[in-house]
Structure 1
Amino acid sequence: MQTLDRWFEDYAVGEERTTTGRTVTEADIVAHAGQTGDFFPHHMDAHWCATQPFGSRIAHGTLIMSMAVGMTAGEINPQSMSYGYDRVRFIRPVHIGDTITVTARITDKSDHRSRPDELGYVHEQVTVRNHLGETVLALVHLYLVNKKSRPATA
């Protein structure tokens, strides 16, 4: 990972980046189940899943979300912090062996309500697709970002 200072003014609405692929493994699903305590049969019981419309075990939506966030975190920016996630949607199941890629596109920028001279919000639309090109997850990642023009502190 590289460290770089990227200020609010440096982000442009419309800029986009796409990650390389990552294949979801059984080990990923088992580890996530252990970490979260979510051992629902949708994720853990191959025989039961075979009787369901989705046909085989599926990854936890929260696992795919975590992977997507990690896949887009290629730089350390001391001027920016994750502020949260909005409009999270688990659109299609992800199965063991599926390969996902993530596209992140800046969709909006806005000033901080109470500190507009110092801080701003950057909104990033995150779309996760499987190897077939189908969207499996979508969310908006919000960043709180320092402004270059912020007043000097005494």
Structure 2
Amino acid sequence: MFQEIFYEDYQVGDSRTTLGRTITEADIVLHAGQTGDFFPHHMDAQWCETQDFGQRIVHGTLTFSVGVGLTAVVVNPQGMSYGYDRLRFIKPVFIGDTLHTVVTISEKKDHKKRDNVGIVTEHLDVQNQHGETVLVCDHLLIVNKKATDNG
């Protein structure tokens, strides 16, 4: 779905919550194959039983990918991703956990070099099925400003 949202349309404090997605063992295996991260923390169930968490932990990069991916429900031709700041893994994620993301517009500012765009910061709070935060980060968007006619 396409929806044009300009810089001026974003309001600090606005928030939305995504749908959920349950993490499966297949997700972990596929992610390990794609990234080459076969650490035993993710792949060796028997070894993990002897560790603090007692079970395999989902890759942080997989948690990030799913948490961000859940937010991508609308294509905005007026904006594009500029990157992510302040990424932190707060709690471990396990097979069977269902994640959703709370997206809150936390900041808007003018671009330092381009008058026709602004930077919108979306704070992402990825939570598990218990409402516990497992990951946080700030997603920076470069968004077109509405054209103005200065005569």
Shorter-chain TM-score category? over 0.9
Change (3 A) 1:29 1:119: same
Aligned to 1:30: 29
| Runs of 5+ consecutive residues of structure 1 not aligned to the other structure | none
Query: What is the TM-score normalised by the length of structure 2?
Result: 0.96
CA–CA distance in 2 between the matches of 1:8 and 1:38?
38
Runs of 4+ in structure 1 over 4 Å off: none
**Secondary structure of the residue that 1:42 maps to in structure 2?**
helix
Aligned to 1:133: 131
The root-mean-square deviation of aligned C-alpha atoms, in Å, is: 1.3
Task: Tell which deviates more after alignment, 127-136 or 105-114.
Answer: 127-136
Task: Please report how far the alpha carbon of residue 151 of structure 1 lies from its aligned counterpart in structure 2 after TM superposition.
Answer: 7.3
| Runs of 5+ consecutive residues of structure 2 not aligned to the other structure | none
Aligned to 1:98: 97
CA–CA distance in 2 between the matches of 1:94 and 1:124?
22
Residues 38-80 of structure 1: CA deviation (Å, up to 9, x unaligned): 0000000001100001110011011011011110000111110
Change (3 A) 1:56 1:151: farther
Change (3 A) 1:48 1:150: farther
- Size of the aligned set, in residue pairs, is 150
**Secondary structure of the residue that 1:101 maps to in structure 2?**
strand
Change (3 A) 1:48 1:109: same
Q: Which amino acid aligns with 1:67?
A: V
**Secondary structure of the residue that 1:76 maps to in structure 2?**
coil
Task: Please report how far the alpha carbon of residue 81 of structure 1 lies from its aligned counterpart in structure 2 after TM superposition.
Answer: 0.3
Aligned to 1:41: 40
Task: Please report how far the alpha carbon of residue 31 of structure 1 lies from its aligned counterpart in structure 2 after TM superposition.
Answer: 0.5
Aligned to 1:82: 81
